[in-house]
Structure 1
Amino acid sequence: MRTRYRIERRRLLAGGTGLTLAAVAGARVPLAQSLDRVSFQTNWRAQAEQGGYYQAVAAGIYRRHGIECELRQGGPQQNPAQLLIGGRVDMIMSTGFQALNYVRENLPFLTIAAMMQKDPQILMTHEGNGINSFEDMRGRPMLIGSASRVTYWPFLRARFDFTDAQIRPYNFNLTPFLVDRMAIQQGFVSAEPFAAMQAGARPRVFLIADAGYENYQTTIDISRRMVEEKPDLVQRFVNASIEGWAQYMAGRNTDAANALIKRDNPDMDDAKIAYAVRAMNEHGIVKSGDADRLGIGAMTEERWIRFHRTMADAGLYPRDLDVRRGFTTRFVNKRVGLA
């Protein structure tokens, strides 16, 4: 997660622009009516991990739902949460931690969908070096970035008796990993293993979500004001996004979406994108768990409560935080995107 965790309070400005259309929630809007304009800010530069949103744009899914979506690319100098709080964007792509932050800071925002059921963050080492589980990493040096130290690291420390003394600085440079066969470093299941293989390594991947880390990823966050004033528009945006993700993960006519990704981020190429999609499918990042029965984007109160309890046990949040104020399942769990 690449957002800050202490959020400056700012006055909420007006929400989305455009006309609110009188239609049943989730229904497609007649083409004769004007399109509602919605701005959506991603949390990083364009990549396959955002592919469902790009698919919904490229395949005209948003437009079929009566929406003109302005998809804004993120980057290292941007803080999507601050853009949302400042009223400069209608919706943002975020993570489960942000919902807890909204509650802790008493801010009028919430999470309305989670496109990734599993957080794609991993620890990665080399095959054949005797490290075969998280337990085998106990006491060993690990390359961990600063942002990770206040998200999944406290979970790993509590779950596997890791210590802060194991941490070594990680500067998003693969060289230290490549030259040390005993190295352990952080990464994303859809990115760093591919880069390591391209450099001749044989990485072994440990998905942190499979160890019980229940953080929702690639969430959609929005102001309470927009939820209250434009629920039909919000429902149509969520449904269109889910349809985009279903198509993208199935590989159905995704060339145009991938072209948009490569246009926005020239560092992406077909091989990187193909690997990322394959890895997300193999590890159930988007389609697994609750999404298998409730549809892509699914969230449950039970999981949110467990996630908060886990992170409170790790010392990151107050135990009496009412996590239910940070999300709503009103717009998901409708089996949208299921075959």
Structure 2
Amino acid sequence: MRLLAVLLLSLAATLPARAADRVVFATNWKAQAAHGGFYQALAGGTYAKAGLAVEIRQGGPQVNNRPLLPAGRIDFLMTGNLLHSFDNAKNGVPVVVVAAMFQKDPQALLAHPGQFKAFADLKNADVAWIAKDAQFSWWQWLKSDHGFRDEKLKPYNYQLGPFLSNRRSVQQGYAIEEPIAVERAGGFKPEVHLLADHGFSTYSTTIEARRETVEKNPELVRRFVEASILGWVNYLYGDRRAADALIKRDNPDMTDDTIARSIALMKSLGIVDSGEAQVAGIGAMKPERVKDFFDKMVRAGLYKPGEVDLSKVVDYRFVNKGVGVDVAKRLGGGK
């Protein structure tokens, strides 16, 4: 028996190691701190330990990675919030959400300090600088649930000047980016009113996969999702220097200061590791919350009742397992 064991060990040593599964993961914008967990999983070897050879392809203003997923040219896609996912299910696009890295959508309204006492008062601003696409999505929810009015609208063209020059105006902003730009350009910290803290209950920074991949290779999906979760834990609470180097390589406009400030905002606002994620793990998703958000979007007039089969929006098998919760606590996070 001992001789047999030695022979088996010798045979195993001569066999080639199993090749890692090649995975192409695309994001929806240029590399930044909001993508940090994925870069951490790559730089820190977490994907490699999961048997994955991952290529991250960044998006950008001239890059639309979305149609590449159903076409089979990429394996996973980082996208925005559940509105995109509802549209996919409504239109029969054969993709499904398998995780949500952000418990809160970072979309926010920014205001000058001391001009408005509460979120409810923002609807009384002189002007609301809102981009066209937002006017036809979450602005409709602000109208239905919070009484905002179209006559306040002005198109936001991603220039800060109009907002900075009018103290009684409000402006849309990605809560982990625009406040940094406002502080640099205007010399003050804007008040950040996160829509998620006032009922905009969507998950964000979701991971989508082709339905075919989920059905035929769920083990691949599980490994990618869980490695990404661990990447986010280590990016928020561990040594992120190697990940930041990859981010700056892909996006040379990104700086250490911007990344550090963005991460600080992620933590203070509870964007990634809050609520359900602190028990069920980063990436957590619940069907009750998906339905709650859909019902709000119906009330806002974006969908009709029953128009979207919610069972086709998310596959919950790959999250809610507490992956990384112990690691976050050990590193001083997850509180």
Return the TM-score normalized by structure 2: 0.89
Q: Which protein shows a greater Rg?
A: 2
- Give the match's secondary structure for 1:308: helix
- Give the match's secondary structure for 1:330: helix
What does residue 325 of structure 1 align with? 312
After superposition, give the CA deviation of every residue in 1:155-181 in whole Å (9 maximum; x if it has no partner): 111111112221101111111122221
Q: Residue 52 of structure 1 is aligned with which of 37, 44, 69?
A: 37
CA distance in structure 1 between the aligned counterparts of 2:41 and 2:35, rounded to whole angstroms: 11
Letter in 1 for 2:263: V
- Deviation, 1:205, is 0.9
- Deviation, 1:334, is 0.7
Q: Residue 223 of structure 1 is aligned with which of 204, 210, 222?
A: 210
Letter in 1 for 2:189: R
What does residue 211 of structure 1 align with? 198
- Confirm or deny: 8 A CA contact 1:31 1:66 kept in the other structure: no
After superposition, give the CA deviation of every residue in 1:185-221 in whole Å (9 maximum; x if it has no partner): 0101111111111221231110000001011111000
- Give the match's secondary structure for 1:307: helix
Asked if residue 136 in structure 1 is aligned to residue 121 in structure 2, the reply is yes
CA distance in structure 2 between the aligned counterparts of 1:87 and 1:32, rounded to whole angstroms: 27
Letter in 2 for 1:325: K
Of all paired residues, the percent bearing the same amino acid is: 44
- Deviation, 1:132, is 2.2
RMSD, aligned α-carbons: 1.4
Asked if residue 89 in structure 1 is aligned to residue 74 in structure 2, the reply is yes
CA distance in structure 2 between the aligned counterparts of 1:164 and 1:325, rounded to whole angstroms: 33
What does residue 86 of structure 2 align with? 100
Q: Residue 173 of structure 1 is aligned with which of 155, 159, 164?
A: 159
After superposition, give the CA deviation of every residue in 1:112-141 in whole Å (9 maximum; x if it has no partner): 000000001110011022x12221122431
- Confirm or deny: 8 A CA contact 1:122 1:208 kept in the other structure: yes
Specify which structure has the higher proportion of helix. Answer: 2
1:307-326 equivalences in 2 (<5 Å): 307-320=293-306, 321-326=308-313
What does residue 183 of structure 2 align with? 197
Q: Structure 2: which 5+ residue stretches go unaligned?
A: 1-14, 327-335
Asked if residue 34 in structure 1 is aligned to residue 19 in structure 2, the reply is yes
Asked if residue 155 in structure 1 is aligned to residue 141 in structure 2, the reply is yes
- Give the match's secondary structure for 2:99: strand
Asked if residue 63 in structure 1 is aligned to residue 48 in structure 2, the reply is yes
Letter in 1 for 2:55: E
What does residue 28 of structure 2 align with? 43
- Confirm or deny: 8 A CA contact 1:178 1:201 kept in the other structure: no
User: Which stretches of structure 1, 4 residues or longer, exceed 3 Å deviation after superposition?
Assistant: none
Aligned length: 308
Asked if residue 124 in structure 1 is aligned to residue 110 in structure 2, the reply is yes
What does residue 292 of structure 2 align with? 306
- Deviation, 1:46, is 0.4
- Deviation, 1:226, is 0.3
CA distance in structure 2 between the aligned counterparts of 1:127 and 1:332, rounded to whole angstroms: 39
After superposition, give the CA deviation of every residue in 1:60-104 in whole Å (9 maximum; x if it has no partner): 110000000010000112233212122221110012112211211
CA distance in structure 2 between the aligned counterparts of 1:271 and 1:31, rounded to whole angstroms: 44
- Deviation, 1:327, is 0.8
Q: Structure 1: which 5+ residue stretches go unaligned?
A: 1-29
CA distance in structure 1 between the aligned counterparts of 2:16 and 2:31, rounded to whole angstroms: 29
- Confirm or deny: 8 A CA contact 1:109 1:224 kept in the other structure: yes
What does residue 331 of structure 2 align with? none
- Deviation, 1:31, is 9.3
What does residue 27 of structure 1 align with? none
